[in-house]
Structure 1
Amino acid sequence: MHDDRVKIRKVEVLSDDWYLLKKTTFDYRRGDGSWQTLTRETYDRGNGATILLYNRERRSVILIRQFRFPTFGNGHDGFLIEAAAGLLDQASPEQRIRAEVEEETGYRVGAVRKVFEAFMSPGSVTEKLYFFVAEYTPDARIGDGGGLQDEGEDIQVLELTLERALQMVVSGEIADGKTIMLLQYAQLHLLPAAAGVN
């Protein structure tokens, strides 16, 4: 830890509506030993978890499509194709992702495996995301999914071959960071291409 390099001077709450937006003024000791006063805004929505469901036989993955307002108007129609994900809400990452994937996709999974964790937008958002993978079979779908209406979710479930999903990353049809990371993980470690096949 580098606690000796940061001294908090002032914290202001700018908004505590949907999540928590704070403005912090702090002194930062630079690499040359000099101190600099900086101000940063941070958005705290808690930590989250995401999961890629995959099937070895079909070489397929389960993704979802949902409307994401922050992307709307920033060169995107707002309908993002993503891996299922959700905030932890005081639960462990493993507990939360099992419940979330069932709510969103309708698939009930047993064993989930954490593959890594990452800060997704560390310049302004405090959230750390826990990344999981799990195998699925067609008979593991026990419901329609679609998410929770009272949370504003209106989710479409997609089953795609890994190859098609990776093509959609290249074409820009899949533009969600966590999903791209999981698809690349699957390509490298879960469903590598057969020799001589690109």
Structure 2
Amino acid sequence: MQDTNVHIEKTEILSDNWYTLKKVTFNIRKKDGTEEQQSREAYDRGNGAVILLYSKAAGTVILTRQFRLPTYINGNPTGMMIEACAGLLDNDNPEDCIRRETEEETGYKISHIEKIFEAYMSPGSVTEILHFFIAEYSTEMKITDGGGLDDEGENIEVLELLFEETLKMIDSGEIKDAKTIMLLQYLRLKNVL
């Protein structure tokens, strides 16, 4: 549902090299009834899905580690990030996407997944809605080594970590990825592990 207090005047494409960066000029009606014209930039990379695999029996979770250029140029000395498995939807529905990404990145073919919520991750500048999932895994579900797809330039390390250790890694700053922190905190708040 579009808000009738906003009227888009003009949209310009600033870049469509990797994803799409738009400059949008719009009029917005403020609380006092007056209108104001504003311009903002919005980065459209599509919507995505993320999943945290967990094992109640072992008290572990599956995470990944990979290089992330934006973190490197913003002070992360190695550029390496520990994250939950995630990917862009492309043309899939969220559930099909996350099943595919889980197998490609982690090597696990999961059976039952549970969607827990959706969230805008950076609503001031990025259009993406992220669909959050959790799923229980076992060693029998491991069908490949994972690691991502070579043709997508992925070089992903699969990590099996004790859940309690991941909470300490948030405190120490070893885990700084927002989606991963949200999922780990969800497991903690809901007493899943």
Q: Where on the TM-score scale, by shorter chain, does this alignment land: which range?
A: over 0.9
Instruction: Confirm or deny that 1:89 pairs with 2:85.
Output: no
2:35 is matched with which residue? Answer: 35
1:41-64 Cα offsets, whole Å, 9 max, x none, are 000010000000000011110000
Deviation at 1:169, TM superposition (A): 0.5
Question: Aligned residue pairs: how many?
Answer: 192
2:48 is matched with which residue? Answer: 48
Within 5 Å, which residues of 2 pair with 1:142-161?
A: 142-161=143-162
2:121 is matched with which residue? Answer: 120
**Aligned-partner SS, 1:4:** coil
Within 5 Å, which residues of 2 pair with 1:96-107?
A: 96-107=97-108
Which amino acid is the alignment partner of residue 165 of structure 1?
A: T
Percent identity (aligned): 59
2:10 is matched with which residue? Answer: 10
1:196 is matched with which residue? Answer: none
Runs of 4+ in 1 over 3 A off after TM superposition: none
**Aligned-partner SS, 2:171:** helix
CA RMSD of aligned residues (A): 0.9
Instruction: Name stretches of at least 5 consecutive residues in structure 1 with no aligned partner.
Output: 193-198
Q: Determine the C-alpha separation between the residues in 2 that align with 1:80 and 1:89.
A: 23
User: Please, what TM-score do these two structures have when normalized by structure 1?
Assistant: 0.95
2:63 is matched with which residue? Answer: 63
CA contact (8 A) 1:59 1:191 kept: no
Which amino acid is the alignment partner of residue 57 of structure 2?
A: E
**Aligned-partner SS, 1:143:** coil
Which amino acid is the alignment partner of residue 60 of structure 1?
A: T
User: Please, what TM-score do these two structures have when normalized by structure 2?
Assistant: 0.97
Q: Determine the C-alpha separation between the residues in 2 that align with 1:156 and 1:54.
A: 17
